[in-house]
Structure 1
Amino acid sequence: MAICFILYAFLTLLFALSLTLSLSIINARKSRKRAVGFFHPYTNDGGGGERVLWCAVKAIQEETPDLDCIVFTGDHDSSSDSLARRAVDRFGVHLLSPPKVIHLNKRKWIEERTYPHFTMIGQSLGSVYLAWEALRKFTPFYYVDTSGYAFTYPLARLFGCKVVCYTHYPTISLDMISRVRQRNSMYNNDASIAKSNWLSTCKVVYYRAFSWLYGMVGSCTHLAMVNSSWTKSHIEVLWRIPERIRRVYPPCDTSGLQKLPLKRSSDPPVFISVAQFRPEKAHMLQLEAFSLALEKLGPDVPRPKLQFVGSCRNEPDEERLQKLKDRAVELKIDGDVEFYKNAMYRELVALLGNAVAGMHGMIDEHFGISVVEYMAAGAIPIAHNSAGPKMDIVLEEDGQRTGFLAETVEEYAEAIVEVVKMSETERLKMAESARKRAMRFSEQQFSEDFKTAIRPVFTCAVK
């Protein structure tokens, strides 16, 4: 009898909870606003994803000026005016009007440190909770995800939203599953797991289950824009909605950077590395390669300088930056390496204008905005030989080389040495070809492609 009573109480509670949630969703659907809501919990990360956010906001303001643009953010110190100023100061993007802001209080549920284990599924489910808070506070007619939280799409549809996403990279990819199966140790596959056949098998099962769930929720979007050929190929396999997927290259500041003169001082030759101080950006590999290159260069060759430019999102990023500085001291090249943390846009442009080459080290970088910025600025790219840089960016232009692709420390070092030993004529020829290719990835091109992609969805806007 007691068990029956407990079961009855549980079912009654579950029914009451379901009824409450249903009523909340029904009320929210009825109160939808003629607005576009951008789900972007981190509006201070300073990376390419944030640039996409502001360029997307501007494109929608131009395309549908009668619709308000709302930004859902977990940064409590952000206001409409401060975000508009940030778009200009950090990225050079001038919005037509400041976006409205909805502050979120539950952002800790999508933070990596909240889930020491099973991080992907934890963050994904946490994003649903965060989106619930967002949509309860404000329900827009259009829900635009620019941060890659695919698990929020079914919820947004329940709230009656048209769902649009800009996917920078798949949360899980076939490459990730393959690396775990092959037991390769990387930043997203701990060495202790890679060494164990049993743990690797368990992780493969987990990844396969997650990829199935990811495909289910991803297919709920009305329109999926992806940033590269590599991302497009993976999303098509995972989400199985090829008719709703459009490749829209991300916006790169090619117009402003192309104004920089191609001729620049090579005394000393400056190499620049622009990336957030995250583990996947492989700063340490670049530092080791630079140290090796210095050993290879003879005394008669100008000694180059390496500049790391990037932002820190949190304490782990700060720790990575400090380890990088410490390693430079250990290698006895700290006098040849400079660090610029959270640099403003103007400072970044000035640094790019003085660099002869740009370093990039991330494996399977979905696109590689920094690589395009190097090319537009006249800095020869030395990028990782995979994904975006390999498939879309560092390709020949009119039969001319536009940069270097590398994988190992030795290959990066060889590319650095080759750039340093280049004649001015050779460097200018390659830099000019690279700049011409970079024009394919301009902010103007992004705006045009973005507007073309959203028009079929936005034509059904509420009158």
Structure 2
Amino acid sequence: MLFGLAAPLAFLSLTAIAFGWEFTLFFTLGASSVVLTIGLAARVWLKKTLPPKQEGTVAFFHPEASGGGGGERVLWVAVQALQKAQPNVKIVVFSASKYSSQQLLESAADRFNISITASIQVVQLAHGDYVSPGRYPRFTLLGQAIGSVRLAYEGLHQLRPELFIDTSGWAFTYPMCRLSGVRVACYVHYPTVSTDMLQRVRQRKSLYNNSNRVADSRPASWVKLLYYYVFAWFYSMAGACANVVMVNSSWTARHIRQLWWKLEEPHRVFPPCLTADLQRLPLDRKLKHLYLVSVAQFRPEKDHPLQLQAYAEARRWAQANPQDRSSEAILASRLKLVGSSRNAGDEAAISDLRRLAAQLGIADTVDFHVNVSFSELRMLLGNAVAGLHTMVDEHFGISVVEYMAAGVVPIAHDSAGPKEDIVQMEAGKGGYNITGYLCSTLEQYSSAIIEALSLDHTSRLKIAAAARRKALEFSDERFCREFLEAVQPILPSL
């Protein structure tokens, strides 16, 4: 909230100093009048151009509904929960994929083990590229924000629901929905702009969303920082238009409190994880082949290159220390990268990773498992020693919970969701039990890989058991209960 107000307050202060308070007051009232006039005109236009509102209809806005990531699992578990709680509600999914409703349900069953028996309606969005980052090589955030509004309008022009639930994080669609007379709920996985992003630009640190070219230039960094601040101000206003705000972690909740102009506390609703089925896998299992697993979509922010580099470093250490008893296990191990490929960009990323593995000399010990079914994922998790996660500021980290539920020792990034909510010490009778490893540097990841692959059976079993107990907190049942409690006040009354 304070951060959201910082930009307008700073602007008003500078205006007051430069022109005096009388001018500032006049300007503020004038700007407010302009915004109000535009809002009223937009409301009239939307009511004229959009079809009549369909009472008793709930629409989920999720352009990539056919995807295989954690966000898609949230979508389908939410759909399933709502159908069971209110079977008379008509459920619609705004999707940019070419899948029919039956194909989407079959995909959800195959990838996530989610069975939805009642029918749903799919509103096909023909212009999914409106929200594709590749469409906007410059000012990507702004381009996607405007694109999301255009895409949501395309959906509303076909069907105007009573309740619009955004499960993809496109906050700039909320004002339009509210102006058209539609109630809005949202499930925020990751804030579009965060104070962490602003800090990195301010400190000129390079990352996947702050290129070396910008980080190395002071003027470019200042321009980008100003752009981010202005964007954050409008993002704050857009977020304030949601009737109900749900967030997926403590980290996301903190950032939304800082950013969005809302007095109400966001509902922290941990995402549904594959805990029930995975917890049935035996903990005390004989591992025929030692391997590490990584479950993540092939996207830049997941930082698969760091995983390959850390694994290569661990193998180099083992080769340099043949006398160490751990070396044999490390050299006998493999790394299995498991994830979904959504488009040509993801395929290019996979090709780049294959080339990197070859350059590091580990190509013959790295396996790629792309777009696997739930049964194959279960099998891969059921025989893994440890699981890698390397995304900085991962809002939650469903894959980390999946590792823990399956009895796989997590090696996760020491930030955001994994740090604040998941990989935490467990209080036991004899003190504290670790539930996994938290790392942030190449050296730390390499050391954790060496240690995890070197664990004796008893030590691995102790960590895996503690991790599984922690994973119980992130069940489908808990998500469904808390999701329904949050949206209950604005659901259609049938």
- Are residues 23 and 285 of structure 1, via their aligned partners in 2, closer, same or farther at CA, if it must alter by over 3 Å? closer
Question: Is contact 1:35–1:142 with CA below 8 Å preserved after alignment?
Answer: yes
Q: Secondary structure at the match of 2:446?
A: helix
- Which residue number in structure 1 is paired with residue 186 of structure 2? 165
- Percent identity over the alignment? 46
Question: Is contact 1:148–1:171 with CA below 8 Å preserved after alignment?
Answer: yes
- Are residues 35 and 192 of structure 1, via their aligned partners in 2, closer, same or farther at CA, if it must alter by over 3 Å? same
Q: Describe the superposition over 1:293-345 as per-residue Cα deviations: whole angstroms up to 9, x where unpaired.
A: 11222445222110000111221211111111111112211121111111111
- Which residue number in structure 1 is paired with residue 226 of structure 2? 205
Question: Is contact 2:66–2:104 with CA below 8 Å preserved after alignment?
Answer: no
Find out whether 1:67 has 2:92 as its counterpart.
no
Alpha-carbon distance, 1:242 to partner: 4.5
Question: Is contact 1:61–1:96 with CA below 8 Å preserved after alignment?
Answer: no
Question: Is contact 2:290–2:453 with CA below 8 Å preserved after alignment?
Answer: yes
State which of 269, 277, 291 in structure 1 corresponds to 2:312: 291
Q: Secondary structure at the match of 2:448?
A: helix
Question: Is contact 2:298–2:340 with CA below 8 Å preserved after alignment?
Answer: yes
Q: Hey, what's the Cα distance between the residues in 2 that align with 1:183 and 1:111? A: 26
State which of 102, 110, 119 in structure 1 corresponds to 2:123: 102
Find out whether 1:87 has 2:108 as its counterpart.
yes
Alpha-carbon distance, 1:111 to partner: 1.0
Question: Is contact 2:42–2:179 with CA below 8 Å preserved after alignment?
Answer: no
Q: Which moved more, 1:293-302 or 1:352-361?
A: 293-302
Q: Hey, what's the Cα distance between the residues in 2 that align with 1:156 and 1:149? A: 12
- Which residue number in structure 1 is paired with residue 139 of structure 2? 118
- Which residue number in structure 2 is paired with residue 352 of structure 1? 381
Q: Hey, what's the Cα distance between the residues in 2 that align with 1:407 and 1:113? A: 28
Q: Describe the superposition over 1:237-265 as per-residue Cα deviations: whole angstroms up to 9, x where unpaired.
A: 10132515100000001000001111334
Q: Describe the superposition over 1:66-111 as per-residue Cα deviations: whole angstroms up to 9, x where unpaired.
A: 11110000112x1121111111111011114132100011222111
- Which residue number in structure 2 is paired with residue 327 of structure 1? 356
Q: Describe the superposition over 1:42-78 as per-residue Cα deviations: whole angstroms up to 9, x where unpaired.
A: 11221000000000101111121111110000112x1
Find out whether 1:187 has 2:208 as its counterpart.
yes
- Which residue number in structure 2 is paired with residue 5 of structure 1? none
Question: Is contact 2:178–2:184 with CA below 8 Å preserved after alignment?
Answer: yes
- Which residue number in structure 2 is paired with residue 271 of structure 1? 292
* Residue type of the alignment partner of 2:242: T
- Which residue number in structure 2 is paired with residue 8 of structure 1? none
* Residue type of the alignment partner of 2:467: A
- Are residues 87 and 98 of structure 1, via their aligned partners in 2, closer, same or farther at CA, if it must alter by over 3 Å? farther
- Which residue number in structure 2 is paired with residue 127 of structure 1? 148
Find out whether 1:34 has 2:56 as its counterpart.
yes
Alignment size in residue pairs:
444
- Which residue number in structure 1 is paired with residue 253 of structure 2? 232
Unaligned runs of 5+ in 1: 1-14
Q: Hey, what's the Cα distance between the residues in 1 that align with 2:436 and 2:45? A: 58
Q: Secondary structure at the match of 1:199?
A: helix
Question: Is contact 1:276–1:310 with CA below 8 Å preserved after alignment?
Answer: yes
Q: Hey, what's the Cα distance between the residues in 2 that align with 1:42 and 1:214? A: 22
Equivalences for residues 404-415 of structure 1 within 5 A: 404-415=437-448
* Residue type of the alignment partner of 1:201: W
Q: Secondary structure at the match of 2:433?
A: coil
Q: Describe the superposition over 1:401-458 as per-residue Cα deviations: whole angstroms up to 9, x where unpaired.
A: 1000001111001001111111100000000000000000011111111111111222
- Are residues 212 and 19 of structure 1, via their aligned partners in 2, closer, same or farther at CA, if it must alter by over 3 Å? closer
Q: Which moved more, 1:373-382 or 1:234-243?
A: 234-243
Question: Is contact 2:49–2:157 with CA below 8 Å preserved after alignment?
Answer: no
CA RMSD of aligned residues (A): 1.6
Q: Hey, what's the Cα distance between the residues in 2 that align with 1:402 and 1:287? A: 23
Q: Secondary structure at the match of 1:243?
A: coil
Q: Hey, what's the Cα distance between the residues in 2 that align with 1:213 and 1:263? A: 53
- Are residues 278 and 195 of structure 1, via their aligned partners in 2, closer, same or farther at CA, if it must alter by over 3 Å? same
User: TM-score by structure 1 length?
Assistant: 0.93
Question: Is contact 2:336–2:366 with CA below 8 Å preserved after alignment?
Answer: yes
- Are residues 223 and 90 of structure 1, via their aligned partners in 2, closer, same or farther at CA, if it must alter by over 3 Å? same
Alpha-carbon distance, 1:266 to partner: 3.7
Question: Is contact 1:39–1:72 with CA below 8 Å preserved after alignment?
Answer: yes
- Are residues 415 and 239 of structure 1, via their aligned partners in 2, closer, same or farther at CA, if it must alter by over 3 Å? same
- Which residue number in structure 2 is paired with residue 366 of structure 1? 395
Unaligned runs of 5+ in 2: 1-36
Question: Is contact 1:252–1:442 with CA below 8 Å preserved after alignment?
Answer: yes
Q: Which moved more, 1:102-111 or 1:379-388?
A: 102-111
Q: Which moved more, 1:295-304 or 1:397-406?
A: 295-304
Question: Is contact 1:274–1:309 with CA below 8 Å preserved after alignment?
Answer: yes
